[in-house]
């Protein structure tokens, strides 16, 4: 058993997590957007691919169900979960439209969209962000590396300053849990 692999990855993980202090202001701004959206009666839409799709579902469950505190259910939809929508839209319009068509049908002005992409360059997430912005929906990018093309297209880019996908995803789940805690506790705006 190679202990150096474990220690190397643990060290890299710790360094990545410590680097989040560099983007704390952006993380907190996104938390304010989400809390205010929910307080105003809006919903949160979330999209991403692969592991980011799983993160989208995880965060939606924290809002609709609960995170750590008993409270009313908050409206949130992971755009990654409806296989009929995903396959029909992918077949009829192309994979790049699988999220933007759902944003068009489900989103309303004053809602918030979180686009998750470790590269910042997922074409279907970028299309969803563009559609949301055009509809008056707040846009948050939960990104990695240098933020890619999505960073300049969202209202609030949150860019984990790392290059390895695994470390970025580990930081993303921490950030999503922080946001869930902020929503639970009404940080940045009152929630019931």
Average pLDDT over the chain reads: 96
Q: What is the pLDDT of residue 45?
A: 99
When pLDDT is cut at 50, 70 and 90, the band that residue 3 belongs to is: confident
Domain assignment present for residue 16? The answer is no
User: Comparing 3 with 119, which gets the higher pLDDT?
Assistant: 119
Mean pLDDT of 131-144: 98
* Residue spans of alpha helices (H) in 1-99: 3-18, 24-39, 51-64, 83-93
Question: What CATH number is given to the structural domain containing 94?
Answer: 3.40.50.10490
Domain that holds residue 97: 24-185
Give the integer Cα–Cα distance in Å for 68 and 76: 17
For tokens 């809002």, the residue is 63
Is residue 145 a contact partner of residue 172, using CB atoms and an 8 Å limit?
Answer: no
pTM for this structure?
A: 0.96
Sign of the Cα pseudo-torsion (168, 169, 175, 179, in order): positive
Angle value at C-alpha 191, between 42 and 75, nearest 5 degrees: 35
Residue 188 has pLDDT above 80, yes or no: no
- Whether 105 is in a domain gets the answer yes
Q: Name which of 55, 45, 66 is nearest 132 in CA terms.
A: 45
Distance CA 140, CA 154 (A): 6
Residue 5 within a domain: no
Find the range with the poorest average confidence among 90-104, 121-135, 174-188.
174-188
H helix or E strand, kind and range, residue 13: helix 3-18
- pLDDT tens for 28-85 read 999 999 999 999 999 999 999 999 999 999 999 999 999 999 999 999 999 999 999 9
pLDDT value at residue 186? 85
Give me the number of domains the chain comprises.
1
What does the alpha-carbon distance between residue 65 and residue 146 come to, in Å, rounded to a whole number?
A: 33
Is the pLDDT confidence value at 189 over 90? no
Q: 31 in a domain, yes or no?
A: yes
Which helix (H) or strand (E) segment holds residue 141: the answer is strand 138-144
């Amino acid at each position: 058993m190679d202990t150096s692999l474990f220690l190397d990855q643990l060290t890299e993980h710790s360094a990545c997590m410590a680097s989040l202090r560099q983007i704390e202001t952006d993380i907190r701004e996104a938390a304010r957007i989400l809390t205010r959206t929910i307080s105003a009666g809006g919903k949160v839409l979330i999209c991403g691919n692969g592991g980011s799709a799983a993160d989208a579902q995880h965060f939606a469950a924290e809002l609709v169900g609960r995170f750590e505190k008993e409270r009313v259910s908050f409206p949130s939809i992971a755009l990654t979960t409806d296989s009929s929508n995903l396959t029909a839209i992918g077949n009829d319009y192309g994979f790049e439209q699988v999220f933007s068509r759902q944003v068009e049908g489900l989103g309303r002005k004053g809602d918030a969209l979180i686009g998750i992409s470790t590269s910042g360059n997922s074409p279907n997430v970028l299309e969803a962000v563009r559609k949301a912005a055009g509809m008056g929906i707040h846009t948050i990018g939960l990104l990695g590396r240098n933020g890619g093309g999505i960073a300049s297209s969202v209202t609030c880019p949150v860019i984990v300053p790392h290059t390895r996908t695994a470390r970025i995803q580990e930081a993303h789940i921490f950030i999503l849990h922080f946001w869930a805690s902020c929503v639970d506790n009404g940080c940045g705006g009152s929630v019931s």
